[in-house]
Structure 1
């Protein structure tokens, strides 16, 4: 099973290699342009990051659980930015 570090690394690689900025990645995956990522939008991000289909739903739920600070079951820009900053910090250790 993929570890948290492997999953976060794949997300970082996806964003770094395919988008000019984290903002561009967020806008791309925010399909309904409501300023928040729903679970299905996060699953799409995970698919692009080449996370196994079996794990995507579980990982999406865990990401929401871990980074949804306002409890709305969505990831807004500030929560996404916090997650990306944490991923980047962890990757540079």
Structure 2
């Protein structure tokens, strides 16, 4: 199993290499435009970050558990930004 640090590092690389800002990355993966990333949208992000399909579901669940502050089982822009800020300072 990949460590949290490895997963977050892969996400950071994806965002910094393919998007001009973290907000652009969030908008790209927010396919339905509702301002929140669902589990399936997070799985798409993880796929693009080259996280193995075998563990993508588990990792997406853990990311939601770790960063979903309002308990709606989705990641809002504010929650995404907090996560990205945490990644960027490591």
Matches within 5 A, 1:4-43: 4-43=4-43
- Alpha-carbon distance in structure 2 between the residues aligned to 1:85 and 1:59: 19
Question: So what's the TM-score if we normalise by structure 1?
Answer: 0.95
Question: So what's the TM-score if we normalise by structure 2?
Answer: 0.98
Specify every segment of 5 or more residues in structure 1 that has no aligned partner in the other structure, as ranges.
none
- Alpha-carbon distance in structure 1 between the residues aligned to 2:55 and 2:83: 19
- Alignment partner, residue 84 of structure 1: 84
- How many residues matched? 90
State the 4+ residue runs in structure 1 displaced beyond 2 angstroms. none
Q: What per-residue deviation string (whole Å, max 9, x for no partner) do you get for residues 28-73 of structure 1? A: 0000000000000000000000001011000000000000000000
Specify every segment of 5 or more residues in structure 2 that has no aligned partner in the other structure, as ranges.
none
